């Protein structure tokens, strides 16, 4: 009879909470924020997008109460994962910011092109890094031991974090329940798909029980296996048809801006799109059509999929 008790699944949030881990699930403009309070220093992994920074500070403050935030860590430096760094540092001046080593120099000199914020037309307030999150070095976070693992593909400098005792993976944009982030190196003709596969294999070998993704809800058990299956099949689709991946990427970047703006005039969106050499370079690989035409096509596809609405000269997030 006692077997019944053992077979009851504790809800995931409770399991995480017992370890001092709180996942602040955000939307797609801001990455999830993962708060670790189990140790003597409270730590936050990933900080969301700049326009949500005040809310991020407020959410963290509510969760921490009087306790200060001591550490801020970024899995990678895309604007939706480190856009709250500056505001959090201002709120807790003694906190230390840790970043993966690949872009340490770009952060030091604040090279907005190298950091990808300028080419993608995104914003990210400047911050300074105090520490490095180097793959292979042990990390003690929230009273737990974590492994820092390189996770190339979506971003060549990204890391994921794994807690082996409880088999918890902070997967960032390397694995979501329904895929993974745009494979940015491939957009400019560099290798990225092979690295995505290697990262998925690495995740398989870790055999995580709980995955805390960069976006979307936490998933566990069979859902992890399903996410990996889906990610492999998505990767194969992109490899077979790289132009499809490039179109997907441009649509993701437009949708991201619409999430930020919510609504804008079509000419404002057009000016924003045409101002980016980066978007032009990506589009030029598949089409010699004028960029205005390329943008119209992408907006039509986004409208058909329900990602935006158009009302006369207005473009609205949907
Ligand atoms: Zn990312």
Provide the pairing of β-strand 69-73 with 96-99: parallel
Report the separation in Å between the CA atom of 313 and the middle of ligand 1, taken as the mean of its atom positions.
Answer: 31
Span 191-244, pLDDT tens digits: 999 999 999 999 999 999 999 999 999 999 999 999 999 999 999 999 999 999
Beta bridge partners of 157: none
pLDDT band at 1 (very low <50, low <70, confident <90, very high): very low
Taking the centre of ligand 1 as the mean of its atom positions, its distance from the CA of residue 181, in whole angstroms, is 6
Q: What is the rounded average pLDDT of the residues 125-144?
A: 97
What is the CA(31)–ligand 1 centre distance, in A? 8
Q: Assess whether pLDDT exceeds 60 at residue 8.
A: no
The DSSP secondary structure of 193-256, one letter per residue, reads HHHHHHHHHHHHHH--SEEEESSS--EETHHHHHHHHHHHHHHHHHHH-HHHHHHHHHHHHHHH
Provide the pLDDT for residue 67. Answer: 96
Tens of pLDDT, residue by residue over 93-124, are 999 999 999 999 999 999 999 999 999 999 99
Give the residue among 193, 199, 271 at the shortest CA–CA distance from 234.
193
Centre of ligand 1 from the C-alpha of residue 172, in Å: 7
Dihedral over Cα of 212, 218, 221, 225: its sign: negative
pLDDT tens digits for range 151-170: 999 999 999 999 999 999 99
Average pLDDT, the chain: 95
Tell me the CA–centroid distance for residue 9 and ligand 1, in Å.
32
Judged by DSSP in three states, 72 sits in strand
Phi-psi region of 268 (alpha: psi -120 to 50; beta: other; left: phi over 0): alpha
Q: How far is the CA of 116 from the centre of ligand 1 (A)?
A: 10
Q: How far is the CA of 152 from the centre of ligand 1 (A)?
A: 11
Task: Give pLDDT, residue 3.
Answer: 39
Quick check: pTM over 0.85? yes
pLDDT of residue 4: 41
Please name the helix (run of DSSP H) or strand (run of DSSP E) that holds residue 171, with its range, or none: strand 168-172
**Contacting residues for 260 by C-beta, under 8 A, at least 6 apart:** 29, 49, 51, 122
What is the pLDDT at residue 27? 82
Rounded distance from Cα 155 to ligand 1 centre (Å) = 7
Q: What is the pLDDT of residue 212?
A: 98
Q: What pLDDT was estimated at residue 130?
A: 98
Nearest to 43 by CA among 75, 21, 26: 21
Other Cβ atoms within 10 Å of 15 Cβ, number: 17
Cα atoms in the Cβ-side hemisphere of radius 13 Å centred on 206: 30
Tokens representing 140? 């003690």
- Cβ(154)–Cβ(160) under 8 Å? no
Token pair, residue 138, equals 């042990």
170 class by beta-carbon count within 10 Å (0-12 exposed, 13-18 middle, 19+ buried): buried
Instruction: Report pLDDT digits (tens) over 292-311.
Output: 999 999 999 999 999 999 99
Ligand 1 centroid from CA 81, angstroms: 7
- How far is the centre of ligand 1, averaged over its atoms, from the C-alpha of 57 (Å)? 21
Give the percent of the chain with pLDDT over 70. Answer: 97
Query: What per-residue confidence (pLDDT) applies to 6?
Result: 41
pLDDT tens digit string along 21-43? 999 999 889 999 999 999 999 99
Q: To the nearest 10°, the Cα dihedral for 16, 46, 29, 107?
A: -170
Distance in Å, CA 154 to ligand 1 centroid? 7
DSSP 3-state of 159: strand
pLDDT tier for residue 10 given thresholds of 50, 70 and 90: low
User: How far, in Å, from the CA of 101 to the mean position of ligand 1?
Assistant: 16
What token pair was written down for 36?
A: 């670790």
Q: Give the CA-trace dihedral at 89, 174, 295, 315, to 10 degrees.
A: -60
| Residue 278: partners with Cβ closer than 8 Å, 6 or more residues away | 119, 120
Residue 90 has pLDDT above 50, yes or no: yes
Measured in Å, residue 316 CA sits from the centre of ligand 1 at: 24
**What are the CA-CA distances from residue 14 to residues 6, 20, 212, 249 (Å)?**
16, 10, 14, 36
CA–centroid distance, residue 73 to ligand 1 (Å) = 14
Q: If you measure from the C-alpha of residue 178 to the centroid of ligand 1, how many angstroms do you get, rounded to a whole number? A: 15
Q: Confidence class of residue 11 from pLDDT cuts 50, 70 and 90?
A: confident
Who surrounds ion ligand 1 at CB < 5 A? 78, 173, 181
């Amino acid at each position: 009879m006692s077997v019944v008790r053992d077979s009851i699944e504790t809800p995931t949030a409770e399991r995480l909470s017992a370890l001092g881990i709180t996942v602040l699930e955000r939307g797609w403009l801001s990455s999830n924020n993962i708060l670790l309070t189990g140790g003597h220093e409270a730590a936050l992994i990933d900080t969301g997008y700049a326009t949500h920074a005040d809310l991020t500070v407020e959410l963290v403050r509510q969760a921490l109460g009087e306790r200060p935030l001591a550490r801020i860590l970024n899995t990678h430096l895309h604007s939706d994962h480190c856009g709250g760094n500056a505001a959090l540092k201002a709120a807790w001046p003694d906190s230390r910011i840790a970043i993966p080593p690949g872009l340490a120099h770009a952060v030091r000199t604040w090279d907005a092109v190298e950091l990808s914020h300028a080419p993608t037309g995104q914003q990210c307030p400047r911050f300074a890094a105090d520490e490095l999150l180097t793959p292979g070095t042990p990390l003690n976070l929230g009273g737990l031991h974590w492994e820092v693992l390189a996770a190339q593909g979506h971003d060549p400098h990204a890391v994921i974090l794994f807690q082996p005792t409880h088999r918890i993976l902070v997967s960032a944009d390397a694995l979501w329940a329904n895929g993974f982030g745009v494979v940015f190196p491939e957009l400019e003709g560099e290798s990225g798909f092979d690295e995505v596969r290697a990262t998925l294999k690495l995740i398989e070998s870790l055999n995580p029980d709980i995955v805390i993704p960069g976006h979307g809800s936490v998933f566990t058990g069979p859902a992890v296996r399903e996410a990996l299956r889906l990610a492999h099949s998505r990767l194969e689709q992109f490899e077979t048809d790289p132009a499809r991946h490039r179109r997907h990427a441009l649509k993701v970047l437009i949708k991201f801006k619409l999430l930020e703006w919510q609504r804008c005039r079509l000419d404002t969106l057009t000016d924003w799109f045409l101002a980016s050499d980066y978007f032009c370079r990506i589009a030029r690989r598949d089409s010699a059509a004028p960029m205005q035409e390329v943008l119209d096509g992408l907006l039509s596809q986004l409208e058909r999929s329900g990602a935006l609405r158009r009302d006369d000269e207005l473009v609205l997030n949907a």
